[in-house]
Each structure stands twice: as C-alpha cells, then as structure tokens.
Amino acid sequence: MTIPTLRAMLGGGIMALNEAAAQPLLAQPMPQPVAGDPVQMAGPQTPERFVIERGVAVVPVRGVLTANSMMLERYMGWATYQGLTETCAALATDEAVAAIVLEFDTPGGMVLGCAGAAAAIAELGQIKPVHALVHPLAASAGYWLASQAREITVAPGASLGSIGAGVMTGAYVQPGQGSGLQLFEFTSPHARAKWPDPSTEEGRTEILRSLGEAEARFHAAAAAGRGMTLEDLRSRASVTEDVRDGGALFDGAEAVKRGLADREESRMAFYGRILGAYAPAPRSGTRGMSRSAMARARVAVARAAM
C-alpha cells in the first residue's frame, strides 16, 4: 500500500510557504498510527506545547504550519494555529510566566488560520513581553507570526522572510503523455521572487484575487507588528527597487539592515539575556542566576527545541 506524503494533505489551498525549505518536510509520509497503540487508543492528546523556566515560557514553532492538524502536532511535533492560539490564552493568565519566547524553525504553512494565531500573539504581547528567536528559519507564515513579537532575534546562519502567498493548482489539458494533468504555480502580487516563472494561463484572475487578499492580510499584520507602513514594508522586503519583487529570504544581518529583525545573536546569548531579564529576583545573599539554575534553564530550552 502506498502511503501518501504530507504534501497530499495541503491540497490546492493558499499557502504562505517557502517551497524550497518545505520540500524535505512535505516529502515525508503521513504519520500512520499503529493499531492497538495504547496512546492511540487513549484518544487525541495534546503534546507539550511549551516549557517554563524561571518565569520564561519557551514555545517552539516548528514544521509546516496548519490550522488544526492534531495528527501533525501529536506525531510530528509541528505547531498548529489552533495550538498557538490556545497557548497564548493559557500564558496570558499564567502567573508563573513573566515573558514568552517563540522559537521558530518553520518554512511557513497554510494561510487558513494564520491571521488568528498572529492576532493571538499580538494580544498576548499587550499583556506580557513576547520575544521571537529565529533558529534557524521563520519563513512566510512563520514570519507573519514572528512579526507580532516585541523583538525578533536571528541566530547566526538563520534566515527569515519569504513574505507573500502562493498556490499550486492543476488543470487537465489535452494529454500528450501521462494523465494530462498540468500544474500551475501562482504568487501574490508582491512576491515575484518567491516562486520563479509563475504561470499566466487563462483563469488566473480569480486565483490572483485570492492571493492578493491573503497577501494584504499578511502585509498589514507584519507592517503593524514591525511599526511600518505598508509601503515601507514592501520596499524593505523587495530584492529590487520594484516592490513586486518581494518574497525572498534574508540572513540575520540583512534582515536587521532592512528592519525586518532587530538583532543577530547566538541562541546561547539570547537565552542568557532573556532569562537574565525576566528571572525572579535572587534571594538575599545571592547574585544573579546560580549555575544550577542556568543548567536547568538550558535543559528546559533544549527540551523545547527537540
């Protein structure tokens, strides 16, 4: 029996996804729960979505992002927009949490549901400081989410961007060989660099209209999160003087230069700074965070990144 790949579940939906970075993930077979597995028989279970260490909650945002695929969240450890929204609500009222870190390792994902998760992050940021760490990738929908944080830090060697939306769809044409199914790729109006050589066949008008609407929501959220105008965001995200040439990825230094991120910093230095800023005040007679506490923090952060 042929097991479908993860790409099959995405269908022809509009995606905010960096295709090149997503290919290895989407080529994997869909998870196949084993019959009789005690965990499977127990019914759906929510995996650990965050860890808390010394007042800082670390929330991994990894994998191809979907609206609410419990299967991918549970068996692949990938984030979902529903999961992120629920996490934001829980952390907003958790008195043990002083700040939140969203750690990104994602090529992006579905547009469906992304705006809601981004809004939840923005709302959480009105209550508690939210920091984003890109380690190693926050592309497309991932950047949509990261842009809502108070600060975006990029680890050395990491990348962010790919701002825009796209869709791959098919139509049956007169067959020459094979099934006759021809695939077409479209990108949103300001993302010509996202997928090169998009098709311009008849029928694109309706597809491009939907893409334009998705991109408008993406741009509006990212611009607001970064404190820019729409025009400024589009200019900074373009690889040329033409604002339509957006959609590219940038490394940390270039992202900071363009105002799409705030600093480039190693993961160790980032967590040292964040934990030092938000950890509870030391008891009388002590100074700073003890070695044992730092060790526990590193373990907790490592668990979140697994």
More confident residue, 262 or 12: 262
Q: Tell me the CA distances in angstroms from 222 to 131, 226, 287, one per residue in order.
A: 15, 6, 39
pLDDT computed for residue 164 by the predictor: 92
pLDDT band at 192 (very low <50, low <70, confident <90, very high): low
- How large is the average pLDDT for residues 215-232? 97
pLDDT band at 104 (very low <50, low <70, confident <90, very high): very high
Establish if 6 belongs to a structural domain.
Answer: no
Establish if 167 belongs to a structural domain.
Answer: yes
How many Cα atoms sit within 13 Å of 157 on the Cβ side?
5
Q: What is the pLDDT of residues 33-91, one digit of tens each?
A: 666 554 443 444 567 899 999 999 999 999 999 999 988 998 899 999 999 999 999 99
CB 87 within 8 Å of CB 46: no
Establish if 129 belongs to a structural domain.
Answer: yes
- Indicate whether 290 pLDDT > 50: no
The CA dihedral of 85, 11, 32, 140, to the nearest 10 degrees, is -40
Question: Residue 214, Cβ neighbours under 10 Å: how many?
Answer: 22
Establish if 117 belongs to a structural domain.
Answer: yes
* Number of structural domains found in the chain: 1
- How large is the average pLDDT for residues 169-190? 60
- Indicate whether 205 pLDDT > 90: no
- How large is the average pLDDT for residues 221-246? 97
Within the chain, residue ranges assigned H as helices are: 19-26, 38-41, 70-75, 81-92, 114-125, 141-146, 204-226, 230-237, 252-257, 267-278, 291-304
Establish if 124 belongs to a structural domain.
Answer: yes
197 phi-psi bin (left φ>0, alpha ψ -120 to 50, beta other): left
- Collapse the DSSP code of 285 into the 3-class scheme (helix H, G, I; strand E, B; otherwise coil) and give the result: coil
Establish if 222 belongs to a structural domain.
Answer: yes
CA-based nearest residue to 251, from 155, 164, 163: 155
pLDDT computed for residue 209 by the predictor: 81
Which residues have a Cβ under 8 Å from the Cβ of 247 and sit 6 or more positions away? 161, 162, 163, 164, 187, 188, 190, 191, 192, 193, 194, 195, 237
Establish if 299 belongs to a structural domain.
Answer: yes
Q: What is the DSSP letter of 10?
A: G
pLDDT computed for residue 274 by the predictor: 97
Establish if 93 belongs to a structural domain.
Answer: yes
One-letter amino acid identity for 159? S
| Phi, psi of 80, deg, nearest 5 | -125, 155
Q: Domain range spanning residue 89?
A: 13-24+46-304
Q: Tell me the CA distances in angstroms from 292 to 126, 227, 289, 299, one per residue in order.
A: 32, 39, 8, 11
Q: At 96, which CATH number?
A: 3.90.226.10
Q: Tell me the CA distances in angstroms from 170 to 82, 150, 200, one per residue in order.
A: 29, 40, 13
pLDDT computed for residue 41 by the predictor: 38
CB 91 within 8 Å of CB 55: no
